[in-house]
Amino acid sequence: MAFMMLPLLVSCGPDVIYEDYVTIPEDGWSKDSMASFKVNIDDVDSYYKIYINIRNKSDYPNSNIWLFLNVESPDGKTVRDTLNIFLADEHGKWLGSGWGDLFLVKYLYHHQPLKFVHPGEYVFNIIQGMRYDELEGIQNIGITIEKSTGPVEKE
């Protein structure tokens, strides 16, 4: 199943080098579908913060979401990670920012800024890991990559 790309609706700050979202179909995010983002990295001397962005509806049935992230580097190597991202607190209050019945959580991938090893195209593939054939209540999934001032920063 294909996803529709959502044009960028907000202006990026000076440190944002990439930001994009994929729109999840109304009938749900299939366990067999992935959101894919291709990012060209030329500057391997800089540090970067990578955010996974989740826009959920107020009828999302869970307080968290499990995601499988595969990052393919230009040299053909793939880094795989499993992420457990909380979208609501223990009282059911949605986290992040919200408007109407939509809420946006920006999850910092890794707790410190990272360096990319090789210049070229990196592919970020995200798959939902919630054990639903069709996960309902997620509107968009996206990534933001920002340049950072160094290896350790306070959020």
pLDDT in single tens digits along all 155 residues of the chain: 444 444 433 445 569 999 999 999 999 999 999 999 999 999 999 999 999 999 999 999 999 999 999 999 999 999 999 999 999 999 999 999 998 899 999 999 988 899 999 999 999 999 999 989 999 999 999 999 999 987 765 54
Count of other CB atoms within 10 angstroms of residue 142: 24
Instruction: Parse the chain into domains and list their residue ranges.
Output: 17-148
* Third-level CATH fold of 17-148: Jelly Rolls (2.60.120)
Contacts 24+ apart (CB under 8 A), 106-109: 106/51, 106/52, 106/53, 106/144, 107/51, 107/52, 107/53, 107/54, 107/83, 108/49, 108/50, 108/51, 108/155, 109/50, 109/51, 109/52, 109/69, 109/81, 109/83
